[in-house]
Amino acid sequence: QVQLVESGGALVQPGGSLRLSCAASGFTLGEYAIGWFRQAPGKEREGVACVSATDGSASYGDSVTGRFTISRDDAKNTLYLQMDDLRPEDTAIYYCGARVPMFKVCVLFDEFYDYWGQGTPVTISS
């Protein structure tokens, strides 16, 4: 069955960097549109970054463009999120999600994703 397991969340000081991982099992990551989402306390889940299965193109939310980079290692069947220049407002639970395979293009709206990991917490604080 499809399974996603996030890891790498931590407490980091503002301006620091962190890399999150999402290990996929039960399916071939490169054949699915997949993305990173986050949910801060008291807020709705928002799209951070995603990568399409069609051509590997990536999309980013406005608040992370230029600071975060999404990548995929097909050999390891793992999705990554490199986060640089972290800010307190980046504090959230980070989730990876995958669309069903018939939809190859990624979007930054969580209602279009069907498979989810359990999340990994990221806290940005001095």
29: which residues sit within 8 A by CB, 6+ positions away?
72, 74, 77, 78, 79, 98
The encoded tokens of residue 91 equal 């504090």
Q: What is the pLDDT of residues 16-37, one digit of tens each?
A: 999 999 999 999 999 999 999 9
Average pLDDT of the chain, as a whole number = 96
Q: Which residue has the tokens 């230029």?
A: 66
Q: What is the pLDDT of residue 86?
A: 98
Q: What is the pLDDT of residues 99-122, one digit of tens each?
A: 998 999 999 999 999 999 999 999
Percent pLDDT > 70 in the chain is: 100
